């Protein structure tokens, strides 16, 4: 379990690194590609890369998209993949890249609030303190006056609105995280990219005959495809709120790349906020949650190893995916809100 958690942490930090590249790189590409066209190209790049990868993937590491998943999946595509993407691209086109990157801190705030208020995930004192630090860090960076005033208020609202869409999307995806992450991300990218690009063409925008289009597809393959696969994998182990919390380093990464490659200024506010985010991550890493809980009978499919929730079957590898039934089980152990521990918590639940 400890090694599984460590792998999930590496996955979510990898997702944050990849996605952190998206805002400054997108801002650079907007000099040559319309923002609405770019919104579609990024997701289509993700779809193309993952289609090639899935062709060579021998065994899907999770369930396939089924009828029971469709409501969650389609809502995720519409809210996060289409509406959120369009708001983000429009917002980036009307704000400095570093400013837009830092505003993405609001994604974690929305993700945690939705997870706690509507999906019953436990939010202990360490999580709440880390959220407060991240919000303060975002405020220092975003409203400290050090980034200048050459941005539009509507652009700011668009980026914050995109983060709200993603916060909802993260929680919707958490409900279906047992699906093979490559398949989930590939289909979502294809649908989102086709709708976004189709809308851009309908509105009279054009795909330019420019090598920047190829770069946009590659950028989407890395920052959207790679990032989302790692994010979904981490969701299974860490749960929605905590995966989103660790992913909150992504805006800081985006700001760093904006400074290094777009020549935007390095300020004391940026350094102070970085310290706050580091402390927030430290609080989350030390979190422990344990209480007696009941697992109801459930039948589902996901990638798993044999443990106290998954009994050994003759002739099967130690890590595999197949439909399986969980008998009712009541026990107590340290756990995070993963696929097997999404239950309502009372105020008496222990959190260290």
Q: What's the whole-model pTM score?
A: 0.73
Contact 153, 99 (CB under 8 A): no
Full domain range(s) for residue 310 = 293-351
pLDDT at 350: 40
Phi, psi for residue 168 in degrees, rounded to 5:
-70, -45
Q: What is the mean pLDDT of the chain?
A: 78
C-beta of residue 224 within 8 angstroms of C-beta of residue 191: no
Query: Do 188 and 115 fall into the same domain?
Result: yes
Q: Are 108 and 137 within one domain?
A: yes
Q: What is the pLDDT along the chain (352 residues), one digit of tens a residue?
A: 568 888 888 999 999 999 999 999 999 999 999 999 999 999 999 999 999 888 876 655 667 788 888 999 999 999 999 999 999 999 999 888 887 888 887 887 788 888 888 877 777 787 788 788 878 887 776 665 444 444 567 888 899 899 999 999 989 988 887 888 788 889 999 999 999 999 999 999 999 999 999 999 999 999 988 887 888 888 878 876 678 778 878 888 898 899 889 988 777 877 887 788 778 877 766 655 454 545 455 555 545 455 555 555 555 544 455 565 656 655 554 444 555 444 444 444 443 4
**pLDDT at residue number 342:** 46
- Answer yes or no: do 220 and 335 share one domain: no
User: 150 with 299, same domain?
Assistant: no
Q: Last residue of some domain: 269, 290, 311?
A: 290
Give the span between the Cα atoms of 183 and 63, in whole angstroms. 9
Output b/e per residue, 325-346; b: 16+ Cβ within 10 A. Answer: eeeeeeeeeebbbbbbbebebe
The rounded distance, in Å, linking the Cα atoms of 250 and 21 is 8
Q: Residues 308, 312, 318, 323: is their CA dihedral positive or negative? A: negative
Location of structure tokens 């222990």: 350
Q: What is the pLDDT of residue 149?
A: 47
What is the reported pLDDT for 291?
44
**CA 45, CA 105: separation in Å to the nearest integer?**
25
pLDDT at 150: 47
Last residue of a domain, one of 290, 307, 323: 290
Please, what's the b/e burial string for 71-104 (b: 16 or more CB within 10 A of its CB; e: otherwise)? Answer: ebbeebbbbbbbbbbbbbbbbbbbbbbbbbbbbb
User: What local confidence, expressed as pLDDT, does residue 32 receive?
Assistant: 94
Same domain (yes/no): 156, 304: no
Answer yes or no: do 88 and 8 share one domain: yes
Domain count along the chain:
2
Take residue 154 and report the two structure tokens written for it: 């509507």
Task: With beta carbons less than 8 A apart as the criterion, state whether 304 and 290 touch.
Answer: no
Residues 122 and 218 in one domain: yes
- Give the chain's length: 352
Matching residue, tokens 């930090």: 13
Please give the Cα distance from 176 to 68 (Å, whole number). 9
Q: Are residues 285 and 297 in the same domain?
A: no
With CA atoms as reference, report the closest residue to 192 among 156, 215, 166: 166
Tell me: do 34 and 173 sit in the same domain. yes
183 and 53 together in one domain: yes
Q: What is the pLDDT of residues 85-104, one digit of tens each?
A: 999 999 999 888 887 888 88
What does the pLDDT read at residue 317? 47
Where is the domain boundary, 242, 257, 290? 290
Q: Give yes or no: residues 266 and 306 share one domain.
A: no
Q: Does residue 246 sit in the same domain as residue 306?
A: no
């Amino acid at each position: 379990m400890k090694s599984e958690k460590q792998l999930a942490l590496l996955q979510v930090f990898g997702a944050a690194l990849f996605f952190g590249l998206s805002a400054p790189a997108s801002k650079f590409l907007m000099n040559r590609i319309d923002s609405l066209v770019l919104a579609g190209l990024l997701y289509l790049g993700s779809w193309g890369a993952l289609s090639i990868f899935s062709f060579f993937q021998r065994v899907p590491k999770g369930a396939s998209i089924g009828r029971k998943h469709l409501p969650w999946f389609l809502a995720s595509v519409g809210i996060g993949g289409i509406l959120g993407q369009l708001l983000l691209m429009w917002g980036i086109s009307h704000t400095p890249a570093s400013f837009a990157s830092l505003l993405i801190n609001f994604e974690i705030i929305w993700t945690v609030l939705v997870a706690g208020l509507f999906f019953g995930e436990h939010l202990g004192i360490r999580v709440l303190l880390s959220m407060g630090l991240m919000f303060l860090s975002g405020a220092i960076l975003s409203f400290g006056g050090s980034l200048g005033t050459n941005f539009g208020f509507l652009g700011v609202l668009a980026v914050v609105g995109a983060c709200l869409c993603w916060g909802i999307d993260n929680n919707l995806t958490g409900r279906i995280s047992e699906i093979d992450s490559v398949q989930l991300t590939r289909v979502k990218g294809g649908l989102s990219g086709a709708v976004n690009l189709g809308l851009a063409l309908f509105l009279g925008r054009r795909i330019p005959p420019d090598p920047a289009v190829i770069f946009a597809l590659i950028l989407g393959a890395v920052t959207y495809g790679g990032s989302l696969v790692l994010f979904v994998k981490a969701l299974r182990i860490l749960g929605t709120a905590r995966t989103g919390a660790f992913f909150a380093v992504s805006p800081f990464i985006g700001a760093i790349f904006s400074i290094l490659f777009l020549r935007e200024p390095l300020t004391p506010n940026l350094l102070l906020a970085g310290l706050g985010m580091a402390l927030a991550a430290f609080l989350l890493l030390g979190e422990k949650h344990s209480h007696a809980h009941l697992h109801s009978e459930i039948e589902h499919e996901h990638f798993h190893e044999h443990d106290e929730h998954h009994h050994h079957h003759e002739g099967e590898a130690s890590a595999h995916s197949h439909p399986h039934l969980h008998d009712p089980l009541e026990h107590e152990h340290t756990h995070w809100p993963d696929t097997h521990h999404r239950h309502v918590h009372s105020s008496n639940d222990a959190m260290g």
